[in-house]
A and B are shown apart, each in its own frame.
Chain A
Amino acid sequence: MKKIITLIGALALLFTISSFTSSPASVQDGGDDIIGLWEPSNGKARVKIEKIGSKYYGKIVWLREPIDPATQKPKVDKNNEDEKMRNVPLRGYRMLKDFVYDEESKEWSGGTIYDPESGSLYSCVITMKNDVLDIRGYVGVKALGRTDTWKRIKIKKKN
């Protein structure tokens, strides 16, 4: 009986350790470094990158000019290819989608970046160095693209 109890204890300990180490939710891999608040080089938007499931997504949380001068209403995704999706508000819009972190190359790839100004969806790869992201949007192959730099920002603490 003592052996059984010890065995159960050992198994349970093993289970506990393994469930903490192997669970994707509890693992803090390098991929999660991208989570946070970022600002593109033109300073026109602020994007919050978060993880949903196993992939990373970036949502517009702030716009320097939130009102469309043509309509005097909050900006919407008026250039969307799909006519029925043209009323989706830009604030809250996910412009970075479906990035997966590759531990070897240290880059977030396989995702897309959406340019609401033109309604264009580019393939995209992201690398990070010193709280700066190199975000390369491209057409088909990486050579046909453009890299923008985004800086990490944080919300000011209120006194």
Chain B
Amino acid sequence: MRVVLKRFALTLFVSSFAALGFSQIDSSFVEEEEDYSMYDDVEDVGEITTYCSPKIFDLSPNRFLSIGYDVTGTGTLKTSNEGAHKPDDNVARNDQSDLNYHGIRLNANIPVISKSKFVLQVGGGFNQSRITTNQLANAGDHNTLLDEISGGLTSINLNTTLFKPLGETNFLILQLMAEQNGNYTFGSSTEGPDLANTKYSGTALWGKRPNDRKQWGVGVSRTYRAGELNYIPVVMYNYTAANRKWGTEILFPARAFYRRKIDARNILLAGYELEGTSYRLYNTGFNAQNLELRRSEIRARVDYQKQIKGFVWMGVQAGVILNYAYNIDDLTATDNKDFYRGFFGDQTYTLSNTLSPMPYVNVSLNLVSK
């Protein structure tokens, strides 16, 4: 019995150390046979549906957060008298003054839901156009409109973008934006902003993504990019060449860029962006009191984007601003509601103005996703 017990104890003793010994060898350190061709032929265990991605290869980075500063050179503002000026009229613009803009631009774009089958982003923006002018306040010879906006123009917006893939190649994009724009500045005693003057815009687009290097789409947009309310068709065409060195980023007519990839961390874009909105003019000295400044500009530019570290990128834009519109509308006749003039309407402007081209530079720091 003693011998049996002895043997049993000895066996356990040895096996316990054997177990201890084995426990020191991590099972992962025993490399199993790996024939890479065996991964060619597989079958599904889990089930998922394949959806097309919202991106294609090498698009310029998507900005989650952006802080930028915008400075322009000098442009000459020529304004008409207060009156009723038809769009095609040959208007006398005798009131003239020089101005330039500078201001901060903050933008956020947060993916609230971001899954393969659905992406919902919510964002906000704060864009300021402070104005520097050479005219003296209350001096005899000065531009009346500039008096009203010399405190600066501010734009705040909330926006949301929805991307809904319809299977492996088709997709829908819906964008909505609410804006509060005006000649108000925070901390000043001037009136505004007023929620009643919120501007709403949106785009609905249907598209196709035939492969990783191309996506295109067509849609319609209610937009203020041309300064005043408009309904226009839009065309998207994002493309990356097979050699992955160049491509396009187009959402016509809002923007169109040629993209050159220097490397994965340095990108050059050249093209234009149409920027514009309608600003409420509060507390003006004009006779009419429901005034909207229809401001629109084409920013033709070269845009250099560079990774600083990780997901922090910087952007430097330089180019020229072609001021497309700078007119004033009075909304009194439409009960303070915005109206549609489009490209062919003949509703009159209260002031018909021009602003000459001006060079500009924009620098920004961005938190991005690629």
Contacts and interface: CB of A to CB of B under 8 A. Distances in A.
A–B contact via C-beta, under 8 angstroms:
yes
Given A50-B28, A153-B45, A19 B23 contact: yes
A47 B167 CA distance: 23
A18 to B, nearest CB: 9
Interface residues of B, number: 59
A147 B45 contact: no
A149 interface: yes
Interface string A1-37: 1100110110011011001100111100000000001
Interface in A41-91: 41-43, 46, 48, 50-53, 61-62, 69-70, 79, 81, 91
Given A13-B12, A26-B23, A42-B53, A6 B5 contact: yes
Contact of A9 (B12, B19, B46): B12
Contacts of B51: 41
A152 B310 CA distance: 31
Interface stretch (B34-42, B70-78, B277-285): B34-42
B41 A156 contact: yes
Contacts of B370: 115, 118-120
B26 interface: yes
Interface in B11-49: 12-13, 15-17, 19-20, 22-29, 34, 36, 38-49
State which size class the interface on A falls in. 35 or more
Given A41-B48, A155-B38, A9 B64 contact: no
A117 interface: yes
A155 B48 contact: no
A33 to B, nearest CB: 12
Contacts of B111: 143-146
Interface of B: 2, 5-6, 8-9, 12-13, 15-17, 19-20, 22-29, 34, 36, 38-51, 53, 57-58, 64, 110-112, 114-116, 119, 242-244, 263-265, 310-311, 367-370
Interface of A: 1-2, 5-6, 8-9, 12-13, 15-16, 19-20, 23-26, 37, 39, 41-43, 46, 48, 50-53, 61-62, 69-70, 79, 81, 91, 115, 117-121, 130-133, 139-140, 143-156
